[in-house]
A = this chain, B = another copy of it.
């Protein structure tokens, strides 16, 4: 069980980045995301994806301090200041459940203290979306790439076309470009 906690979300400014964080969490095999600031548009976007594309993924909203305090399991904080993922991933993988925390630009110092693992995905500045994706990809050792989400919408991988099946709406069965 992996839950992702997104902290420092500002609904106006971070709308798209936090949406990407949530969709990456789902697509790469996490079970749930908790966002620290309520955002009904974000909730709707993510729930619409789950409804159409499948999976048991959930999105909820809760202050981050409360989440950390009540979490029963290990806490992994993704930060460019942390120890390299390749040194720690085998150890992390042995734990269940795991809370993976990704921040926005400024992260409160308490988080570094509360985390069992502060982990870097390269020691360079880039993106919490990328850090989360690579962390989950390595955590699951690629197994999630072929995960069947059992959704109504399903892509049929193709060399040069956009093909998908839509069980709920047969008219959208195959869209060919």
Contacts and interface: CB of A to CB of B under 8 A. Distances in A.
B84 A146 contact: yes
B24 A109 contact: no
A92 interface: no
Interface in A43-98: 49, 53, 79-86
Contacts of A121: 145
A137 B136 CA distance: 12
A109 B158 contact: no
B124 A53 contact: yes
B157 A122 contact: no
A37 interface: no
Nearest to A144: B122
A165 to B, nearest CB: 11
For the residues of A in contact with B, the DSSP-based class is: mixed
Nearest to A130: B133
A101 to B, nearest CB: 14
A120 interface: yes
Given A20-B130, A24-B127, A137-B137, 15 more contacts: A16-B16, A20-B126, A28-B130, A49-B125, A53-B125, A81-B155, A83-B158, A84-B157, A86-B146, A109-B177, A121-B145, A122-B144, A123-B155, A127-B133, A133-B134
